[in-house]
Structure 1
Amino acid sequence: MRKVVLKMNVSLDGYISTPSGGLDWVFRSFDSGLEQYIVNLLWQADIHIMGRKTYDVMSEYWLTSTDSYAAPMNEIPKVVFSRTLMEANWKNSRIGQSDLEEELAFLKLQPGKMILAHGGAGFAQSLMKLGLVDEYQLMIHPVVLGEGIPLFKDMHQALPLKLLDTRVFDAGVVLHVYQPASSLKYRH
């Protein structure tokens, strides 16, 4: 069975963006090692999943980008989960055919490599609350935002995690790879 991997950039104090959604702080601590790691991670998936907001931003940007992330982002199939998006025009993308839990159960049973989830906060939190994340790849950046949009929000039960791996990159980003320590589904 394929696993769902959630890849997120996180500030030291647990935020994934500024209150207004800004991400400029993420790029201050990128280095060539981190870039290569992420490119390799992107190629390890054969499906990328995301919510509508992330889809809107990514589809606009990656269509014309020539940077190292562009090839895997454009070539690997994508499934966007949205109740409002009417069509998915980004190359190799489609709208999920059913609800998130049902569609991911179907995708996980298909042969292939991992399913890589790209956040936005709302989409990531939905995956976590439904217990659909099999592995967390958290890139902890050396910055404290003080406020913003948290990765872990409204988790009404503890989410025990098992540390699988860590890696420190030259610019100070620390990768933490975790898997859920139990198979409980965390719901409201």
Structure 2
Amino acid sequence: MRKLQMKMSMSIDGFVGGPNGEKDWLFKTGDAQSKAWVVEQAWDAGLIIMGRKSFEVMAPYWPTSTDPSAAPMNEIPKGVFTQKGFKGIDLGNDQSPAATSWTNAKVFDGDLTEEIKKLKAGEGKPITAIGGAGFMRSLIATGLVDEFRLVIHPVVLGAGEPIFNGITIPLYLKLVDVKVFPGGTTVHTYGS
């Protein structure tokens, strides 16, 4: 059985995006060690899943990126979850292996809970969920997340997009690990 890991960056006050979805603060607070950790953790995934909106933003960016995270983002198989349909992504004439990994992403448009249960029932490396607040809230609501990797950035946004709002029953987690990086970013890993 595969484990489902959620990796999410957030501000000290619990927002994953600013009031208008801004994410520029993510790039102002990292350091070499925290970026190396992100790459190392990405390679641990056997499948990267995200919602349609995040997929549409990421797919054109990663195939030509020189960011150290580009290799795992382009090489690890991807899954895109949608409730509103998805016609695929057009990356023009780019036929590189990196682009192909995005255009060949598996589309999941059924019931989220059932689709996640099927994925987890398979064998292989963990499934890593990344992306936006809406998808993460839906994923948390399934109760199927095995591990929460919360990357806490040293910034207070004051308002924005939370992922833990709307929880109807307490979600009790066990702290598994804490990593502290020189720039002030910390990673809190919780098991469910």
TM-score normalised according to structure 1 size: 0.92
Residue of structure 1 in register with 2:119 after alignment: 107
Tell me which amino acid in the other structure corresponds to 2:86.
Answer: L
Residue of structure 2 in register with 1:33 after alignment: 33
User: Offset of 1:88 from its aligned partner?
Assistant: 4.8
* Selected match of 2:170 from 158, 164, 168: 158
Structure 2: unaligned runs, 5 residues or longer: 91-101
Query: Equivalent residues in 2 for 1:87-98 (5 A)?
Result: 87-88=88-89, 90-96=102-108, 98=110
| 1: CA distance, partners of 2:171 / 2:107 | 29
| 2: CA distance, partners of 1:129 / 1:19 | 22
Tell me which amino acid in the other structure corresponds to 1:146.
Answer: G
Higher relative helix content: 2
Residue of structure 1 in register with 2:96 after alignment: none
Residue of structure 1 in register with 2:187 after alignment: 175
Residue of structure 2 in register with 1:124 after alignment: 136
Contact kept in structure 2, 1:81 and 1:95, CA below 8 Å: yes
Tell me which amino acid in the other structure corresponds to 1:132.
Answer: L
| 2: CA distance, partners of 1:109 / 1:130 | 15
Is the deviation greater in 42-51 or in 81-90? 81-90
Indicate yes or no: 2:147 matched with 1:146: no
User: Offset of 1:77 from its aligned partner?
Assistant: 0.5
Contact kept in structure 2, 1:30 and 1:171, CA below 8 Å: yes
Indicate yes or no: 2:81 matched with 1:81: yes
42 and 91 in structure 1: CA distance in 2 versus 1, 3 angstrom threshold: farther
Superposition RMSD in Å: 1.2
Contact kept in structure 1, 2:88 and 2:103, CA below 8 Å: no
User: Offset of 1:87 from its aligned partner?
Assistant: 2.3
Tell me which amino acid in the other structure corresponds to 2:115.
Answer: E
| 1: CA distance, partners of 2:10 / 2:45 | 21
Secondary structure of 2:6's match?
strand
TM-score normalised according to structure 2 size: 0.90
Indicate yes or no: 2:24 matched with 1:12: no
Tell me which amino acid in the other structure corresponds to 1:55.
Answer: F
Figure out how many residues of one structure are paired with residues of the other and give that number: 180
Higher relative strand content: 1
Contact kept in structure 2, 1:74 and 1:91, CA below 8 Å: no
User: Offset of 1:138 from its aligned partner?
Assistant: 0.3
Structure 1: unaligned runs, 5 residues or longer: 181-188
User: Offset of 1:98 from its aligned partner?
Assistant: 2.8
User: Offset of 1:27 from its aligned partner?
Assistant: 1.1
